[in-house]
Structures are given as C-alpha cells and as structure tokens.
Chain A
Amino acid sequence: MNTSYTPSSIAGVLDTPTRKEGGKTIFEHLHEWATTVDHKKLGIMYIVYGLIFFLVGGVEASLMRLQLARPDNHFIGPQLFNQLFTMHGTTMVFLVGMPIIFGFANYLVPLMIGARDLAFPRLNSFGFWLSVMGGLILYFSIIGGMGMTGAGSMPDVGWFAYAPLTGKAFSRGNSTDYWTIGVLVGGFGSIATAINILTTIVCLRCEGMTLMKMPLFVWLSLVVSGMVLLAIGPLTAAQIMLLLDRYLGAHFFDTQAGGSAVLWQHFFWIFGHPEVYILIIPGFAIASEIIPVFSRKAIFGYPVMVGATVAIAFVSFGVWAHHMFTVGMTSIGNTFFVISTMLVGVPTGIKLFNWIATMWGGKIRLATPMLFCIAFLFQFLIAGLTGIMLAVAPFDWQLSDSYFVVAHFHFVLVGSLLFTIFAGIYYWFPKVTGRMLSEKLGKWHFWLFFIGFHVTFDTMHVPGLLGMPRRIYTYEASRGWGTLNLICTLGVAIQAVGILCFVANILWSLRSGKRAGRDPWDAWTLEWGTTSPPPEFNFSKSPVVKSRRPLWDIKHPSDPDWKYE
C-alpha cells in the first residue's frame, strides 16, 4: 500500500513558507494556547477536550455495566447509578459529541475552503471557552451540588430531565441547577460557533469555490450549523423556564400547581431530535471525505448527497414527538409522527447507497480510516433499521424506554458517530501533527473496538425485547436477563482495551510516528495542498479552484474534474 505518495506536480503549487519555532517555556506555550484565536489550535482543543470527557463518560458507562453484569448486584447503589447514567448521557452528548464535531469543523472548514481562519476568530475562542465553562459547571456539581438542603451531589434526573422530577419538590439541593446551567452555558458556546461556521462558509470561500464546488464536509458543516442555530433555542428556553420554576415560583412544569409535564418533553425533544442529526451529520461529513479518497473515486451523486442532507435537516425538525409515542397523544398525532419519522429514512437511505456506489468499481485501500468508515456503513444500516422499528408507533409502545432503545441509539452515537470520529482522527491526524498514526496499533484499535462494540450492543437489543426497561440499577435473577447483561459487560472490557490501543497510538505517534508530508493519503481537497501541520495563515496565497477536487485537477492535468462537473 502506497500511503505517502505525493505527486511531484502538486509540490509548490499551494506552497507556504515554513515557520521557525523558537524555544519557548511551558508557560509561554500555555499562554499561547489559552489566548489563541487560531481556528486550528481551537479545533485541536475542542477535540482534546471532547476526548478527555469521552474517557470520563466511558468510565461512567463501565461502572454501570459492572453493576448490571449480574442480577441483584450490590456494587453500586441506586442513587449513584442514577447519577452515573445522567452524567454519562449529558457528558457524551454535550461534552463529547458537540465539542468534537465543532473541533473538526473548526479545524477543517477554513482549510477546505481556502480561508485563513474563521470569520470571527475571537468569537470562536469565546465559544470554545463557554463550552469548557459548561462542562466545568456540570462536573462542579460533584463538590458543589450539596446546596443548603444537602440532597444529592451529581444530578440524577436523567439526561433529558423529565418534569416534574426536576422540580424543587422532587429534586432538592442544587444538583439539577448545575445540570441546567451547565447545559445552558454550553449551548451559548454552540450558538456562537454555529454562527461563526455559517458566516465563514457563506463569506470566506476562495476564488472559484461556488456552493456546489464545496467539499461535502463543508456542505454538511453548513447544514449542521444552521440546525444548531434553530435547535439550541428551545433547549435554552426550556432551561430558563426550569430555573424560573425552581427559583422564582413559576409553574411552567410544576404539575402540582397546574403546570404541564408534557410541555417540557415537547421543548426538550424539539431540540433533542434535531440534536441527533446535529451529531450524526458531521459523521456523514467525515465519511463523505474518506470513502472517496480510499476508494479512489469521486463521491457518487454529489448533488443528491447535498440535497439529501438538506432534506434530512428539514424533516428532522418535524419528527420530535416520536420520542413521545407513549405519552398518550391522539391517534392522529401518533400517525403524523410515524409518517414524518419514516420519511427521514428516504434521504438517509440515498446517502447510504451513494456511499456504497462510491466504493463500487473503485480500488479500495483498507487503511484504518477506511475500516472505520466501512464499519460505520454497516452499523448505520442497523441503526437505521432499528430506527424504522421504533418509528412504527405500536411497536414503539413495546420498545420505548427499554434496552432496545438504548442499543439503538448507541448504534447511532457509537456505531456511527464515534466510528466516523475515529476514522476522521486517523485520516487528519497527519495533517494536524505532521506525523502518521501507527497503522498496526490502528488495526488493533479498530478490530478490538469493532468486536467489543458488537458484543455489547448487538446483545443489548435482546433484553429490551424481553421486557427490560432502561435506567434500572438492578433486576431480579428470576427475570432471566442475567446472561445477556453479562455478555454486554464483557464487550465493554474488549472496547476498553481497544480504546487503550487508541490512546497509546496517539501518545506514541505524536513523538515517533512516521513523517506524513503534506498529502499522505493522495487526497483531493485543499487542506492537503498545504504543509502538515499548516502554518498559522494556512495558505500563503489564496487558492483558486475550478472543481470539487482541486488537487485531483492538479494531479491529473489531462483529465481534470471540471471537464465533467
């Protein structure tokens, strides 16, 4: 396999002078990172921040799996277990998923459109540090959550925090407030970053890059940023209403004073469902870059891929109540959300088929990024099919809030999003650091994580079908869920070893990885035309593009893309 192939024809075309690093003290480095407004440094910080919390959330999950490994277990009590699943969910969505997808967009969007930075570099820094603040506030609850009434420390209301469990009557102390304010502050950071990415893509594209010549990653980042702008609003409003309920005597969700518990669910899920797509579309974005490069073919059906993404985004704002099929909506209401939810399957299916068609007839290089992407296709297929099952409202009345749902959304968030994030890290690590990640450790990481994932989450569907509800800290032996739960827990151990390989790979490769050069994968988008790592200003002269694959055009002057597009 020829991974460090750089055609001599591109060398120097988009060249940039190399910068000399003087000797700096550790404090100067810290100061530089803390005060930076460079989109690349902020992108790296977003991703590192997300990966650190990923380890925290993973430890929380492992503790829960240990508790559930056998029936009537006394390893963890109910209070701690409830806190763990609340923190695990909130952490993985708000402190892992969101920062990492913003990190990728932050780092890559300006490079891919030939810009020198995001449109508002200082707003970018502000957004990042707000996200950090949100995470710190949430985790400060561990020591600060006792409050005057002394109840609880970490929040224990679940990551979607259904009313009225969050009211003062049922949630004393301050733990729920740390959850509310942490999510609220992180949300402001997300809005700032979304505005920034949106503006950058609309205003800062280099010469020749029309909207329909943007790499798919950029298109999908544009769509996601628009969705973030629309979706975070209802969440923010709901959190403020909750704070008003708790401290100023409002009664939005206070059922004892005539408030509505269902109102919270509407507010939360009209954020929460688009949020699922906010998290998974960046996964699509990464796959849409990697699959063509490793299949050696242009993406199949680019205009349809763009259209399908916009369609998913649009429909995703009209499906939220499929999280609420069990709240007792009318049959008309249920039917509407059955149909709207199933409609999402159409554009999503198109995307899946187009990725397979991209591979079809190619010359597929099975390097680590591509392995993660192929596994993503397979797992996303399963996630989509179980999603269709959950969309059938009567079937959902059985499956909702059971372990089947837990397995389903882990296929979305782990099997699809996390696998593409790993693919993206293996793919762009050489660009970011100038060094390749080890393929050998990468393969170990992939296979262990792939096997562990399937042992845990394939199995997890079954107890749901056998009547096991989610969020229970223990169950009786006579229910017969013991063996299945033990298998799920064993899978976690395999995944954990895989993650250790990943951490070891990063630490080892940072120092000793093979030098990458500017274009180790023989890729086609603009970021591979500058040095690895790119200089602070990205490109010394603004690139001019004529097609969706500017580096292909340079490498194949006799057969450029712009002749066909």
Chain B
Amino acid sequence: MKLTAHKRLIVWAFAFLFGSLGMAVAANDLSLQTSIFSPESAPADSIKHLSFLVLGISGVIFAVVTGMILYATVRFRQRPDDDGKEPPQVYGSNPVEAAWTIVPILIVVVLALSATRVIQEIQNAPKPESALDVVVTGHQWWWEFSYPKLGIVTANELHVPVSSPQKRLPTFLQLRSADVAHSFWVPRLSGKTDVIPNRHNQVWIEPQRAGLFVGQCAEYCGTQHAKMLLRVYAHTPEDFERWASEQKAVQAEGPQVAAGRMVFQRTACINCHTLDNTIADGRFGPSLSHLMSRETLGAGALSNSPANLRAWINNPSQFKPGVRMPAMNLSDSDLDQLVAYLATLK
C-alpha cells in the first residue's frame, strides 16, 4: 500500500536523523570544553538556567504542535474509498481562535519576565571593590589584554583569579577595538559582547574553578576572523599573584643572546612590537614581553615552541594566511640568533 511506504520512509528518516545526532554528540565529549551548557562562571551560569526554562517551554510547545500537525495529516488524509464529496466547510471559530491568542500571550509574559530578571542580574551587577580590571583591545586578528592597576600588557591569553563566595574576585573587562568590530566570547564564562571601535562596552566573568577556558572572536572581522582565538586561564589567587609578579619582573639577559637582541633591534620587528628594555615600542602587533610564557602563537594559530616560533617568523602566512605580520626574510643565522634571544623571554 502506498501510504505504508510513506510511513516507512518517514520512520527511516527520523531514525537516521536522531541516530546520527546521538552518535555525533557521543563522539564529541571533547567539545564540552566550549559548550554553553557547562558554565564555570556566574553570567554563563545564570544564562544556562534561563535557557533550560526556555528550552522546556519550547519543548512542550514543539511536542503539542507537532502532534497536532501529524494527527491532522494522518487522521484527515483522503482515504482510497473516499466518496468524492467535499467535507463540511468551517470558516472559523471565535472562541477557539481567542484561546490560541491568549495562551501564547501568557507564555510570552512568563518568558519576558524571566528574561528581564536575568538581563538585570547580568548587566546591572554591582562591581565589588575587589574586582580585577582588564582592558581588552581587539585587533585584526589578535587580542591585547592590559591590566592598568598591575602595569601588565599581554596578548591572546588572559589570566584571571578564581573567585569564591568567601573571597569574591570577579574580573571586569573593558572592551575596546583598535580597528573593526570584534566580539569577545568565552562560552563557559559568559555570553558574548561586541568589541566596537569608538564604543566602551563592558563584560564581567567570575570563574569558580582553576583551569583553561577557550573562546574566540565571534563577530566577523576580516580575513583571519577564524584564527582570532582567545584563552582564559583561571588561577587560584596565589597562583595569579605569582603569574602577575613574573610578568612584572625584568627579564634577565645573558651575553649569549646579545647577537639575537641586536638582530631584533635592527629589523622591522620594532615597528610593530613592544618589548621591555629594548627600543621596540610598536603598538600594531602584540607585545613580546614574556613571549615564552604564552602557550600559543598568532592568536592560537599554532603552539608556542622555539621551532614553531622560528617557522612563524620566517613565514607567518603559512600558518595564518592573510595575517598582518609580513614574512621577515631573515637569513638563517639571523633567524637562529633572533629565536635564541626570543626564547629567553620567559
């Protein structure tokens, strides 16, 4: 029979669909590292609770209305033994239509009130005295993080203290852009907030446990939007203090790297980069102070090691096509000396 064939096809389609989705989720435990449903910080956490309410209500509506569509389609389909007469004509019904106007209005009221509460909670949260301030500046295609009270400037990897109910240490991020619009998004810590030139936006995070939380630029910002990754390291307050003092420390330099330091200072590096205790004070690229304390290069384009650093300086486009940094065209010996010097910047 024709209709059973249809039904079988539908069943198969849905079996395939849900089967494949299930497998995909099972195979992707790793991806929980940026799931919006595994928050580790206050704003992301209240968003999760709100989203469960919304998902619950949507789920009920979905089940009811899908049921109605399926029931109507199956129950009222034309039968093979149809008598050819038209069915009774119904032109409408005021009470019925009033019902499905009023019920959605009630649902909207509930959802709007819950949304409003969370908007207030997140956007108008008071800033405690103990909060850490960080200025985040989006560049094409990397992040600059500066800690005005600590005198630290770093790039692409944000370090913040863990907050606890006993000792609240949230981090308040002032968002600035040096060029085009970007968006700051670390799903497990908070929702995204755009980073817009000529505009001062703010977002706050309050991680509850130590660890690495990854995120990336979420507003299309040009060629390498995809490789504008960012990493947030949450440390215990003691570890954070240690990290901050290391970043503030003057770098020790032995005579063995003097040649590499010279290569650095006489090439174009200094036009774009800043490096403490050298003549380099460029602002176009990330600061190189304490470069080797970072785990990645090129805003997450590759992991940081002397070998990778050498390849990156030689030709950054190989790892990040379209990147603003040009290939430096250094001789092999210059390159070796330069990398030997940079590798000491712990």
Contacts and interface: CB of A to CB of B under 8 A. Distances in A.
B340 interface: no
Interface string A384-396: 0110110111111
Contact of A353 (B6, B51, B82, B100): B100
* Closest 8 pairs between A and B when the two form their complex, measured CB to CB: A397-B191, A467-B34, A480-B31, A472-B226, A301-B92, A328-B201, A480-B30, A255-B197
A349 B197 contact: no
A361 B76 contact: yes
A133 interface: no
Nearest to A386: B58
30 contacts: A1-B78, A78-B224, A79-B322, A82-B225, A162-B180, A164-B180, A256-B197, A258-B198, A296-B87, A301-B91, A326-B194, A331-B123, A335-B116, A338-B116, A360-B76, A385-B62, A388-B58, A388-B111, A389-B58, A392-B114, A394-B122, A395-B54, A397-B193, A398-B51, A398-B191, A401-B220, A462-B21, A465-B35, A471-B225, A483-B24
A260 to B, nearest CB: 7
Given A78-B321, A262-B196, A397-B192, 13 more contacts: A170-B179, A256-B197, A296-B86, A327-B201, A356-B68, A365-B77, A381-B66, A392-B114, A397-B193, A398-B187, A455-B16, A466-B32, A564-B89
Contact of B29 (A163, A295, A480): A480
B142 to A, nearest CB: 15
Given A359-B72, A462-B24, A475 B226 contact: yes
A459 B197 CA distance: 35
- Looking at A261, A450, A556, which has the most chain B CB atoms within 10 Å of its CB? A261
Interface string A536-565: 000000000000000000001000010011
A363 B196 contact: no
Given A162-B220, A346-B105, A304 B123 contact: no
Interface in A448-495: 450-451, 454-455, 458-459, 462-463, 465-475, 478-481, 483-484, 487
Given A162-B181, A261-B196, A483-B28, A381 B226 contact: no
Interface string A252-265: 00011011111000
A45 B118 CA distance: 50
A345 B72 contact: no
Nearest to A359: B72
A467 B191 contact: no
B35 A298 contact: no
A60 B50 CA distance: 37
Interface string B273-290: 000000000000000000
A150 interface: no
Nearest to B219: A401
Interface residues of B, number: 103
A296 B90 CA distance: 11
A556 B194 CA distance: 62
Contacts of B105: 346
The main secondary structure of chain A at its interface with chain B is: helix
Contacts of B220: 82, 158, 162, 165, 401, 470-471
Contacts of A470: 220
B28 A297 contact: no
Contact of A479 (B13, B34, B51, B87): B34
A259 B51 contact: no
Interface in A360-419: 360-366, 374, 377-378, 381-382, 385-386, 388-389, 391-402
A39 to B, nearest CB: 31
Interface in A162-188: 162-165, 169-170
Nearest to B85: A363
A352 interface: yes
A258 B197 CA distance: 9
Nearest to A348: B104
A350 interface: yes
Interface in A115-160: 156, 158
Chain A interface size, as a band, is: 35 or more
Contact of A462 (B25, B29, B76): B25
B124 interface: yes
Contact of B92 (A82, A260, A302, A400): A302
B321 A77 contact: yes
Nearest to B31: A480
A388 B222 contact: no
Contacts of A357: 90, 93, 96
B14 to A, nearest CB: 9
Interface stretch (B158-166, B210-218, B240-248, B262-270): B210-218
- Looking at B31, B46, B226, which has the most chain A CB atoms within 10 Å of its CB? B31
B158 to A, nearest CB: 16
A565 B114 CA distance: 43
A523 B121 CA distance: 56
Contact of B97 (A262, A298, A350): A350
Interface string B283-327: 000000000000000000000000000000000000001100000
Contacts of B119: 331, 334-335, 338, 393-394
A474 B322 CA distance: 14
B16 A484 contact: no
A76 to B, nearest CB: 11
B152 interface: no
Contacts of B21: 458-459, 462, 487
Contacts of B90: 297-298, 300, 357, 361
Given A261-B181, A469-B218, A483-B27, A397 B91 contact: no
A10 B1 CA distance: 35
B69 interface: yes
B152 to A, nearest CB: 25
Nearest to B84: A2
A343 interface: yes
A217 to B, nearest CB: 18
Nearest to A344: B108
Given A381-B66, A458-B17, A398 B77 contact: no
A300 B219 CA distance: 44
